[in-house]
Amino acid sequence: MRKETCKTCEKEFVIRDEDLIFYEQMKTVPPIYCPECRMARRLMFRNERILYKRSCDLCKENMITLYSPDSPYKVYCSKCWWSDEWDPKSFATDYDFSKTFFEQYKELQTKVPRLGLAAFKNIRSDYTNGSAENKDCYLIFASDYNEDCLYSRLLQRDKQCVDCAFLHESELCYECIDCRKCFRCMFVEQCQDSTDLLFCYNLRNSNNCIFCTNGRNISNSILNIKYSKEEFEKKKSEILKNYESIEKAKKEFAELKNKTIKKFATQTKCHNVTGDYIHNCYDGVELYDTYDAKNCSYMKDTEKPTDSQDCNNYYYKPQFGYNIMGALEGSRLKNSAFVFYSNEVEYCDMCYNLSNGFGCISVRKGNYMILNKEHEREEYLKLKEKIENQMKREKDFGQFFPPEVAPFTYNESLINDFFPLSKEEALKRGYRWQDKTTGTFDKETIKKGEVPDSINDIDEKILNEILVCEECNKNFKIIEAELTFYKKMNLPLPHKDFECRHQDRMKKRNGMKLYYRSCMKEDCKNEFETTYAPDTSDIIYCENCYQQEIY
């Protein structure tokens, strides 16, 4: 184990002996940036929710895209990007050793068309990104196989769900976070296999519950105490009466959660790992929202990876990956972004079915390619080795793309969700910043404080009105599918726009920072790493004490 100082934030970080073995196996060098700054560089390549309108640079038709109209890139709509009307290999460039690799890569970036939106096989779901196989969805992101879902992130196989995050196989849910197989649930967190929950936390196999926590197989309960059906329905009606009563219930629920015993981390079937929101993971450190990982570390949003480090949005059994932002399957992937079904690639972006590639962009199929130019195998290997030696002399070798190569600014990219910085601090660290604010302002037809409190006082005329967010002052509208959902669930209209509601949800999840703490149960001396900060008032137990208390 050795300690280093991050070249970006100047904080001290540790490189483990296990990490050094991994770097040697991957034929790369140890990082010069801390795990947080390494992730920041990767996530600068992922704009997830900031959408723009501009025309396709090929067909000239209007489209929804991740790239602002003033970005320096050629951007194609999905139909054009996948068409045979252009050839990524036509942008092939000979390598020039009088320039640095990243200088030449940046030149190639401005020439090769980029895919405007990562959306595949969706039906009537234009305003989505990182999405596939969705039907009649609006403003959902990083979500697949959903129907009639709105304003959410990371949904999988859900129906008629609104304002949710990290939700799986559920239906008719509202403001649900980290839930699975739930039906008609509202304002609940970390619940599974349950029905008709309202303001509940960590329930399993339960139904008709209000303000219940850490419960298993309970029903018709309020504060974990069983009531008659009539008493239960009366309490539910009181809470859902209007906007004011729901806001009051939110505060009561926050206080209730604060007093609730919590396990040090949301981990199930894990061994020898640290992190949070993980399942069936073995041997690794700093894993977040990761499932079925073996011998992996410094990962976020990954599924079934093996023998990999420093990867985000890395899915479907990829292996031997390092510093990857977005991959499906693949092996021996290094320092690349959005490389799908590819092998042995490095410093590539938005490439499919590429084998042995270095510095390629938007290649859809190829072998032995450097800067989009194909080579014979022996020629490719010799040239790649010379480029790597040049990068080693320039001290760029083995590190992810620098911020000036990233296609998005700091406040456009996903990193701003997890590690927000001020404009001044972002610029100081070498990141770019977007000053133009998306959205409209000062066009509201209904002022703050004038939105009716009860959904019973709302009719279809609201669809023609313009509302204003009570927090950021951005204008927003209510769409027809949304109004239908609120009517069905007896919910009042929101007073904040989608982005502010999203940020409120994300604040309810712990961040990606680990703290050394001890179990808070009396006489227990177990220690662990947890995402619950020491200065919080949460009651945190170790695994054994938590299991004894809950089960």
**CB distance 97 to 394 below 8 Å:** no
Backbone CA torsion sign across 393, 395, 398, 404: negative
Q: Give residue 362's pLDDT.
A: 97
Residue 498 domain flag: no
Q: Give residue 396's pLDDT.
A: 79
**CB distance 350 to 337 below 8 Å:** yes
Residue 128 domain flag: yes
Q: Give residue 550's pLDDT.
A: 83
**CB distance 354 to 366 below 8 Å:** yes
Structurally, how many domains does the chain consist of?
1
**CB distance 17 to 41 below 8 Å:** no
Tell me which amino acid residue 214 is.
N
Three-state secondary structure readout of 69-124: CCCCCCEECHHHHCCCCCCHHHHCCCCCCCCCHHHHHHHHHCCCCEECCCEECCEC
**CB distance 73 to 67 below 8 Å:** yes
- CA dist 273 and 296 (Å) reads 9
Tokens of 46: 């992922």
Tell me which amino acid residue 176 is.
C
Residue in the structure block whose two tokens are 């396709």: 56
Residue in the structure block whose two tokens are 């279809």: 460
Tokens of 529: 């790493």
Q: 16 CB contacts (<8 Å, ≥6 apart)? A: 1, 285
Q: Give residue 395's pLDDT.
A: 79
**Alpha carbons within 13 A on the beta-carbon side of 388:** 15
Residue 27 domain flag: no
Secondary element (H or E) of residue 323: strand 319-328
Secondary element (H or E) of residue 232: helix 229-239
Residue 126 domain flag: yes
Residue 450 domain flag: no
Report the SS3 class of residue 253.
helix
Tokens of 360: 């390629």
Report long-range pairs for 475-482 (Cβ below 8 Å, ≥24 apart).
475/439, 475/440, 475/441, 475/442, 475/443, 475/444, 479/138, 479/150, 481/136, 481/138, 481/148, 481/150, 482/150, 482/151, 482/162
Q: Give residue 38's pLDDT.
A: 96
Strand partners, 195: 183, 207
Strand partners, 357: 345, 369
The per-residue pLDDT string of the chain (551 residues; one tens digit each, 9 = 90 and over) reads 899 999 999 999 999 999 999 999 999 999 999 999 999 999 999 999 999 999 999 999 999 999 999 999 999 999 999 999 999 999 999 999 999 999 999 999 999 999 999 999 999 999 999 999 999 999 999 999 999 999 999 999 999 999 999 999 999 999 999 999 999 999 999 999 999 999 999 999 999 999 999 999 999 999 999 999 999 999 999 999 999 999 999 999 999 999 999 999 999 999 999 999 999 999 999 999 999 999 999 999 999 999 999 999 999 999 999 999 999 999 999 999 999 999 999 999 999 999 999 999 999 999 999 999 999 999 999 999 999 999 998 877 999 999 999 999 999 999 999 989 999 999 998 999 998 878 899 999 999 999 999 999 999 999 999 999 999 999 999 999 999 999 999 999 999 999 999 999 999 999 999 999 999 999 999 999 999 999 999 999 999 999 998 86
**CB distance 311 to 320 below 8 Å:** no
Q: What is the DSSP string of 201-230?
A: BS-BS-EEEES-BS-BS-EEEETTEE--HH
Residue 183 domain flag: yes
Strand partners, 216: 204
Q: Give residue 1's pLDDT.
A: 84
**CB distance 270 to 248 below 8 Å:** no
- CA dist 273 and 267 (Å) reads 9
Nearest Cα residue to 360 out of 376, 341, 337, 379: 337
Residue 391 domain flag: no
Nearest Cα residue to 42 out of 282, 289, 314, 361: 314
Residue ranges making up the domain that contains 249 = 119-263
Say which DSSP state 164 is in.
-
Residue 339 domain flag: no
- CA dist 289 and 296 (Å) reads 13
